[in-house]
Structure 1
Amino acid sequence: MTRKYWLSIIILISVIYACNKDAITERFAGFQTPANFPEPAYHFSTNEITQNKFELGRKLFYDPLLSRNSTISCGSCHIQTSAFSHHGHNVSHGIDDKLGTRNAPAIMNLAWYNSFMWDGGVFDLDLQPVAPLTNHVEMDETMENVLKKLKASADYPSLFNKAFGEQEITTAAVLKALSQFMLMCVSSNAKYDSVKRGEGKAFTEEEQNGYKIFQQKCNSCHTEPLFTDNSFRNNGLTPTALDDKGRQLVTLNDQDAYTFKVPSLRNLGYTAPYMHDGRFYTLDAALEHYNSKVQQSATLDPLLKKETIPGIRLTDEEKKYLLVFLKTLDDPSFLKDKKLSEQ
């Protein structure tokens, strides 16, 4: 073999390596704010997104090691094909198949949230995982034991060192890594988004009719483009035997009784059942609640008191068009995003 031949081989290998390296870089672009979204609320200055931290967070998210008996992971109740919700379960099913008291909310677009959980009991995403990790009907573990198990594992010490530059595994590092994964769960490629970004798509006549009805009757609470205003409201649900008083359990303020966080309407096609306790299995039932089943109470949201009978009047035709519009908020690509899948 001539020197020229080997030189050519070396150059070819270098080119292939460079191309693969570029491809890897392109696959992980870090956190990016969609063009039609506002600026995020999350404090990225204290937890800058990197590929190593994100990949560590993804591994932790899907690892049942974080639960007491290594049977339940975060991904067990937050399933990607269901927009990271627990589709089909009215309330969460945790360790030893124990039942929670509330529906597992979808994990998406959390970078724009300033409070978490149905009652807003957690105010920082970096603290949020502590709640399910330590809840006795969810993962039923302690942070102390989580750290012990991670430190004793074959892989995690080197992964934490690679991500955070130190061998020691700390609670803060675990929580920040999990935040990195959740922050990257951005759903912004529904038909609605393509229309709003002027990417060549347009609403059909029925979708446009539904959009107009939505803007008139729903947008005050489910504010575009996130389709939530992050507020807490009493939407007139009849209390169950559990008598969950929602945010009042956090604030101890009587004015917050039976108020719950306004959920996003994105990806409703994948996240049934609906409401904080998963009582409605169809969107038709949820719409009919607002039309005819809202219950009067001391803390009922004022927007539902505008008429003699509380609620939001909807004709059958309006409900039909609303359902057509809500389908434009479904983002199939979010459910298939490989970077968010269990590796």
Structure 2
Amino acid sequence: MSCSSSEEEYIPVPYQLEIPQLFKEKLIAPAIPNNNPLTQEGVALGKKLFFDKKLSGDGSQSCASCHHPQKAFTDNLQFSVGIDGKQGSRNSMPLFNLAWNFDEKFAWDGKDFTLENQALEPVANPIELHANWTKVAERLKNDAEYPTLFSQAFGTTKIDSTLITKALAQFERTLISGNSKFDKFLLGEVALTPEEQNGFDVFMDEAKGDCFHCHGSNNNPLWTDNQFHNNGLDRSFSDLGLGAVTGDPADHGKFKSPSLRNLKFTAPYMHDGRFATLEEVINHYSEGLQASPTIDPLMKKVNQGGVNLTPKDKADLKAFLLTLSDEEFINNPDFKE
């Protein structure tokens, strides 16, 4: 005879990310922390939490309220509105390909180190979900399903902010966008129109658009460098961006380069949502640059106001940018409630 527990320990099943072919060819493996490996149970729990309004103070909003799947996980508002009707001063960032953010600095200003930590603030923030983490955990403990789900995902019925945000981060790392028209073009599956091809050439040409330094290329399918730049929006700053985080005046006015994927779904644009259309964004870089002490050296033509594109090159550049839109991503049932 031997001693045995009346119940076998539940072992979660490893989750296999579906990595696009181009990502396998052009990028190194995604960054998955050793202390939060992806499991089927953890991802499923994170998805349930992402859409659950129990994470807000009054039970009226969820993470998905500001990060809609069919809007590439943003909300198309200049500033999102929290449960108390208050607005912030930043545009809601879209969520995809987060597992390849290797410096692990999240948010427009890089204030959140690791995806797990990023999820902590919105729940407690008084202008967002405005909840108390202890009360949120109590709600979940008293729920009919969550204790079992946490036990299956993490081997404990304990529920707290650490495990909640671990689960959310697991789900968010599965949000992969890599099947746009341009991806298919690079794989030899479709052709670009002459306008789209010219737009890509403008994007890559240092004498014209000169966009690729910050926003990726055919060799960087993330379409961002995940770094922080002052891109000439203002001469002075009411929002210091990265500078408010580091305390370094040299970082004033620097914000994270967003991915150019899925621009069709994510207007308005920039950290403060000031541009309603892609035409406005292109016009900014063409003739709207503002000089300031911290402007990025890559804004090489700031003294001329910008790169001064022709109307045709502007239109073709927009046509190319729209080829980075991934309809499959926004319609993926695995990412919906």
TM-score, scaled to structure 2: 0.89
Query: How do 1:68-217 residues align onto structure 2 when only pairs under 5 Å count?
Result: 68-87=57-76, 89-113=77-101, 114-198=104-188, 200-216=189-205, 217=210
Give yes or no for contact 1:304–1:310 (8 Å, CA) kept in 2.
no
Give yes or no for contact 2:15–2:39 (8 Å, CA) kept in 1.
no
Alignment partners' CA distance in 2, 1:101 and 1:41: 31
Residues 51, 239 of structure 1: CA spacing in aligned structure 2 closer, same or farther, 3 A cutoff? farther
Give yes or no for contact 2:108–2:255 (8 Å, CA) kept in 1.
yes
Could you say what secondary structure the match of 2:223 adopts? Answer: coil
Give yes or no for contact 2:56–2:131 (8 Å, CA) kept in 1.
yes
Q: For each residue in 1:300-340, what CA deviation from the matched residue of structure 2 results, as whole angstroms up to 9, or x when unmatched?
A: 11111346424222111111110110111000111110011
Give yes or no for contact 2:133–2:161 (8 Å, CA) kept in 1.
yes
Alignment partners' CA distance in 2, 1:51 and 1:197: 30
In the alignment, which of 21, 27, 32 is matched to residue 18 of structure 2? 32
Alignment partners' CA distance in 2, 1:45 and 1:195: 35
* 1:62 aligned residue: 51
Give yes or no for contact 2:133–2:160 (8 Å, CA) kept in 1.
no
Letter of the structure 2 residue corresponding to residue 189 of structure 1: N
Alignment partners' CA distance in 2, 1:300 and 1:33: 36
In the alignment, which of 318, 326, 329 is matched to residue 321 of structure 2? 326
Letter of the structure 1 residue corresponding to residue 231 of structure 2: N
Q: What is the CA distance between 1:194 and its match in structure 2?
A: 1.2
Alignment partners' CA distance in 1, 2:29 and 2:232: 30
Letter of the structure 1 residue corresponding to residue 94 of structure 2: A
Alignment partners' CA distance in 1, 2:289 and 2:114: 32
Matched, 1:228 2:224: yes
Letter of the structure 1 residue corresponding to residue 309 of structure 2: L
Q: For each residue in 1:215-263, what CA deviation from the matched residue of structure 2 results, as whole angstroms up to 9, or x when unmatched?
A: 12110110131111011111111268x8111111100000000110011
Alignment partners' CA distance in 1, 2:267 and 2:252: 25
Alignment partners' CA distance in 2, 1:135 and 1:34: 35
**Range that drifts further, 38-47 or 155-164:** 38-47
Could you say what secondary structure the match of 2:298 adopts? Answer: helix
Could you say what secondary structure the match of 1:96 adopts? Answer: coil
Residues 29, 336 of structure 1: CA spacing in aligned structure 2 closer, same or farther, 3 A cutoff? farther
Give yes or no for contact 2:32–2:38 (8 Å, CA) kept in 1.
no
In the alignment, which of 253, 266, 269 is matched to residue 271 of structure 1? 266
Letter of the structure 2 residue corresponding to residue 259 of structure 1: K
User: Which structure features the higher share of helix residues?
Assistant: 1
Q: For each residue in 1:269-301, what CA deviation from the matched residue of structure 2 results, as whole angstroms up to 9, or x when unmatched?
A: 000000000010000011101111111100011
Alignment partners' CA distance in 1, 2:145 and 2:232: 49
* 2:239 aligned residue: 244
Identity of aligned residues (%): 42
Letter of the structure 1 residue corresponding to residue 138 of structure 2: K
In the alignment, which of 211, 218, 223 is matched to residue 218 of structure 1? 211
Q: Which runs of 4+ in 1 moved over 4 A?
A: none
Query: Where do 5+ consecutive residues of structure 1 fail to align?
Result: 1-24
Letter of the structure 2 residue corresponding to residue 49 of structure 1: L
TM-score, scaled to structure 1: 0.87
Alignment partners' CA distance in 2, 1:288 and 1:109: 28
Residues 132, 307 of structure 1: CA spacing in aligned structure 2 closer, same or farther, 3 A cutoff? closer
* 1:313 aligned residue: 308
Q: What is the CA distance between 1:172 and its match in structure 2?
A: 2.2
Could you say what secondary structure the match of 1:300 adopts? Answer: coil
